[in-house]
Structure 1
């Protein structure tokens, strides 16, 4: 069962735009004692924009340096065949699970979402974590749809990033037996009953995430919110800001960007 603090790893690059194995290993060494699982190449790892080589390298390096923690490979691709392709890559690389969004597009219907996860769980031997979000996929599942998906075999957990505390609470209280993990650090206190947290704050501050899960009251929530605001975790370029903080602490070598596009984003932030 997935529970506690799961870290959605940032993807560290070297000056040539390649994934840095040295920085990946250093990051995992920094946080492994305080987290329950490693989740590379999801949103905080820029999974939707990585090349196959970058994506494969990050998954492989995470598996190699995992300290025995489960590795949940993120998969963000526009359609079901694309998700399945990377799920098969994750299998070959030694990942323990995959975490996947719905297909991309505002017109993707709720029945299509159920069919997507049914195809995915039937097409890979790996357990599937459902990632319910909107910024990348441009859609999100309803509560009824999530309950239907949780009834499928092979569904390991839901990363619930809808931003709707009422829906998250209802899903957590539904009794499906599928763990529900909050995807927003600022909503832990408002969603009692969740099984854990998957948020970018776990990269620099996994211990603080554990403390919030153990005591999800408003006083500590306000502290966590202030730390998230300090690090810029609710801004569009949050992953770059996390990298800067980790580089400042000496955890990774540098907050390098993989391309000129990323460098421009960093300069404009």
Structure 2
């Protein structure tokens, strides 16, 4: 049976895929994380996703992930939802991380499709259900086949929507038809993880976004949703188009978004620090070009 109701926003609408700040020596910078989280919430983010792709989760330890949740929770209190990235290629390890995130004060869990082993769809479904059964926190499924090698197929997503602990999706599948099919048949809250799709996904019934670019331009990305909600659809389109140059520079410049957004944050004097290997920091020319594009956006 289909449904026409719009899903409630379980974690807010405007979520930032927050970077994980490190010191110059590469250690976890909890003070910097708290300052960055404070700024993001003050500038319009009502949710923060920690230890995701942009948060360099493959290179942070289990204890660092839990410490990050605790520190950000202390900084933002109840002003923003905290969604903790716990996805790994190992179901048992993912369950362990989920339980630790729950203890640390997270409001929800971001769980990516198991990567590298490329499990079939029945195994993907069982993986997510086991994690949802193990934790008392609601799950946001992370569908990003370009990185994991495995899609959460629309049919699998529709079946998973029947689990009471699975409430949301971070959608990086680049499949407009598949997304609309799941929206039409479930009550899952859909968050685009692709900044260029913020307005398009919101207009077809999505809930909001999990944005990398929001690390540096939280007000500008949030304004797209606010304009649409106010009925100013032409203005929402203008704001989306106005942000495209920065979105392209951050997300489609041949470098991972973590590298470009950290380079820009550092240039703007905000907490970020270096990336951890195997990633390498952006060079000066790249950072200068990013800053020039950013300054044109904020001056518009």
Give the structure-2-normalised TM-score: 0.81
Instruction: Please list, as runs of the form range in 1=range in 2, the aligned pairs for 1:32-111 lying within 5 A after superposition.
Output: 32-33=41-42, 34-68=44-78, 69-105=80-116, 107-111=118-122
Relative to structure 1, the CA distance from residue 51 to residue 136 in structure 2 (aligned partners, 3 Å threshold; closer, same or farther) is farther
Instruction: Please list, as runs of the form range in 1=range in 2, the aligned pairs for 1:109-124 lying within 5 A after superposition.
Output: 109-124=120-135
Q: SS of the residue aligned with 2:51?
A: coil
Asked if 1:26 is matched to 2:24, the reply is: no
1:181 paired residue number: 191
2:217 paired residue number: 205
Aligned-partner Cα distance in 2 for 1:197–1:149: 21
8 Å contact from structure 1 (residues 165, 190) kept in 2:
no
- Say how many residue pairs are matched: 265
Relative to structure 1, the CA distance from residue 266 to residue 226 in structure 2 (aligned partners, 3 Å threshold; closer, same or farther) is closer
Larger radius of gyration: 2
Q: Which runs of 4+ in 1 moved over 6 A?
A: none
Q: SS of the residue aligned with 1:48?
A: helix
Of 261, 274, 288, the match for 1:242: 261
> For 1:209-250, what per-residue CA distance to the aligned partner results, in whole angstroms no more than 9, with x for missing partners?
212223365433322221212334564421121111112222
8 Å contact from structure 1 (residues 41, 75) kept in 2:
yes
Aligned-partner Cα distance in 2 for 1:106–1:168: 24
- Please identify, of 112-121 and 48-57, the stretch whose mean Cα deviation from structure 2 is larger: 48-57
Unaligned regions of 5+ residues in structure 1, if any? none
8 Å contact from structure 1 (residues 76, 101) kept in 2:
yes
Aligned-partner Cα distance in 2 for 1:30–1:233: 25
Q: SS of the residue aligned with 1:197?
A: strand
Query: C-alpha root-mean-square deviation of aligned residues, in Å?
Result: 2.1
